[in-house]
Amino acid sequence: MEQFATKLQSALGTILESLSKESVPAIPYEYPEDPSRGDIAFPVFSYARILKQSPQIIANRVVDELDREGLNIKKIDVIGGYINVYFDRVPILTAILSRIAEEKASYGKNNSRAGEKIVIEFSSPNTNKPLHLGHLRNNAIGESVSRILQLSGANIQKVCLFNDRGTHVCKSMVAHQDVGAGSTPESTGKRGDVYVGDLYVRFNERAKSDKSYEQRAQAMLKRWEEGDAEIRSLWKTMRDWVVAGLMATYERCGIRFHSFEYESDIYERGRDIVKEGLQRGLFFADEDGSICVDLSEQGLDTKILLRSDGTTLYVTQDLGTAIHRVDTYNCSSMIYVVANEQEYHFKVLFAVLGMLGQDWSKHCRHLSYGMVNLPEGKMKSREGTVVDADALINKLRTAVVEATQEKGGNTERNSSPEEIAIGALHYYLLWPNPETEILFDTEKSISFSGNTGPYIQYTMTRIFSLLRKAEAQSIEISENILGLTEDLEWRLSKLIGRFPQIVQQAARKENPSIVAHFMYEIAKTFTIYYHEVPILSDTSHAGERLYITKMVGQTLQNCQELLVIPIVKEM
């Protein structure tokens, strides 16, 4: 559909330029919701000033001048300042459906981001607790954006940075020495990340009444930085416990990384970079001995880059990590998927990198997203009010089973509650624009009707069911689209024909919600088609309708793949 639209757009633009005798902006186009307004509409209001004529006159002149040869136009209406175009359906239906049939899982692939080598950092958890609900949104956005950019031609390197050093890690270690000595995740029957996370909560409970607890954590961090063998051994053991648990959650959710980085391996590189910047006169030493940078020219504040005692800050570590990645991956840009609470941090980071002469920092971006909250309020790790990722998925899984039972469904036949739970979760997290804050509603997320992941998955099971029934009845797919006579078939074909354009738009804006909205529109339209058109019962057209059904299914599957929503074949 996009190819036909751009071809027509170019022809109309040429005419406008000939009328104006000068270069004019490209004529925009839109897809009318009301089919009586055409298959595509070109508004010419913005050209009234250039041509000093009314939009109606301009539209009529353009239509009169248009050579329709090869444009597959059936009819053109001019209404006000709109050029409403009705296409000849057969060639466009043929082109759309045959392309999907040929490209299959590659349908939607484009080169809009070709030549870019992008490092995408997301998740980046602390190694003192399990992943939580906030991480789940981070993971879904990072994985989905990566898949969208990859389908658009970019070379993607997905990176997870484990924040495995610092006072927060030492707090769990102190609690383990006091209340967990001799115990392990295995001996307590807990997964490693949950076991260590519980210790972190117990530390903060104890610290409320025992002020020495905080001092012990700081002292342990000092011993760690000095390379104390005993402390390092305990630290590595507990880190491995947590990482093993985190990996299990990633696997469960379909999140894949190309590489894992550990802050403990690279945090010192930033210190050397800051000291070098001081020698070059880019930074200055404060009275207390700390090294700072004046960012007032960039509209930012003065920022400490290295404390007076020589210890690093997050920005120090990120400086070293960023330069390390460019050296390691030879990337042209980086995307940081981090909550909107850190917007100022990344402004500082990119500004300092620019001062250091790292020109590639101009292409670095902070993909900021809104926080995920619960009806009962904000989650706090130290108080133990965080909803662990796996606990939430388990809750959704149970809710799916219960919802199936309430509807009188066969829970034994429905062997996919886990996949439905993951689909419900990811769709709920990706449907809103990334910057939008979310109030997570378990009941809404697992609904099988309305704008939900399970609704999308249920639509796909209908398509799979039709294909199975057709096979059982020996109904063969027919590519003779002359038999596709329903307006709904034309509407569906036009819609799925826009998928490559949707992928490009989502890649340009790095926004998975664009795909989610489009996918829901396909599911809604096919549901109407399913109820109003006899797909298999009208044997004279069953083969052709099965053809379009299969291509709709392929497009939906491609959307689901981009949004990390599992394919379910039967419910």
Dihedral sign of CA atoms 321, 326, 329, 331 in order: positive
Query: Is the Cβ–Cβ distance between 75 and 69 less than 8 Å?
Result: no
Of 345, 325, 343, 344, nearest to 333 by C-alpha is 325
DSSP type of residue 78: E
Would you say residue 22 has pLDDT above 80? no
* Helix (H), strand (E) at residue 27: none
- What string of DSSP letters covers 170-199? HHHHHHHHHH-TT--HHHHT--HHHHHHHH
pLDDT tier at 377, thresholds 50, 70, 90: low
d(CA 109, CA 111): 7
Question: What's phi and psi for 541, nearest 5 deg?
Answer: -125, 10
Q: What pLDDT score was predicted for residue 382?
A: 45
Q: Which of 255-264, 268-277, 480-489 has the lowest mean pLDDT?
A: 480-489
Q: What pLDDT score was predicted for residue 547?
A: 97
Dihedral sign of CA atoms 479, 485, 489, 495 in order: positive
Would you say residue 381 has pLDDT above 50? no
What's the burial of 281, exposed, middle or buried (CB within 10 Å: 0-12/13-18/19+)? exposed
Q: What pLDDT score was predicted for residue 21?
A: 78
Of 155, 162, 100, nearest to 135 by C-alpha is 162
* pLDDT per position as a tens digit, 529-557: 999 999 999 999 999 999 999 999 999 99
Q: What pLDDT score was predicted for residue 252?
A: 97
AA identity, residue 38: G
Of 194, 175, 294, nearest to 246 by C-alpha is 194
d(CA 502, CA 544): 26
Q: What pLDDT score was predicted for residue 181?
A: 77
CA 378 to each of CA 201, 235, 259, 373, 481: distance values in angstroms, whole numbers, following the listed order: 16, 30, 31, 6, 54
Per the prediction, the chain carries an average pLDDT of: 92
Average pLDDT over residues 128-146: 96
What percentage of the chain carries pLDDT values higher than 70? 96
Cβ density class 87-107: b for 16+ within 10 Å, e for less: bebeebbbbbbebbeeeeeeb
What's the burial of 287, exposed, middle or buried (CB within 10 Å: 0-12/13-18/19+)? exposed
d(CA 371, CA 511): 16
Q: What pLDDT score was predicted for residue 407?
A: 66
Would you say residue 18 has pLDDT above 60? yes
Average pLDDT over residues 387-412: 81
DSSP type of residue 367: E
Q: Which of 24-33, 184-193, 215-224, 431-440 has the lowest mean pLDDT?
A: 24-33
What's the burial of 33, exposed, middle or buried (CB within 10 Å: 0-12/13-18/19+)? exposed
pLDDT tier at 376, thresholds 50, 70, 90: low
* pLDDT per position as a tens digit, 287-335: 999 999 999 999 999 999 999 988 888 899 999 999 999 999 999 999 9
Q: What pLDDT score was predicted for residue 379?
A: 46
pLDDT tier at 408, thresholds 50, 70, 90: low
Q: Which domains does the chain have, with CATH numbers?
A: 2-87 (3.30.1360.70), 269-311 (no CATH), 389-562 (1.10.730.10)
Question: What's phi and psi for 362, nearest 5 deg?
Answer: -65, -25
Query: Is the Cβ–Cβ distance between 155 and 330 less than 8 Å?
Result: no
Would you say residue 154 has pLDDT above 90? yes
Average pLDDT over residues 175-190: 90
pLDDT tier at 410, thresholds 50, 70, 90: low
d(CA 220, CA 388): 27
For residue 490 the two structure tokens come to: 């034309």
**Bridge partners for 334 per DSSP:** 119
Would you say residue 109 has pLDDT above 80? yes
For the beta carbon of residue 406, count every other beta carbon within 10 angstroms: 8
Query: Is the Cβ–Cβ distance between 196 and 172 less than 8 Å?
Result: yes
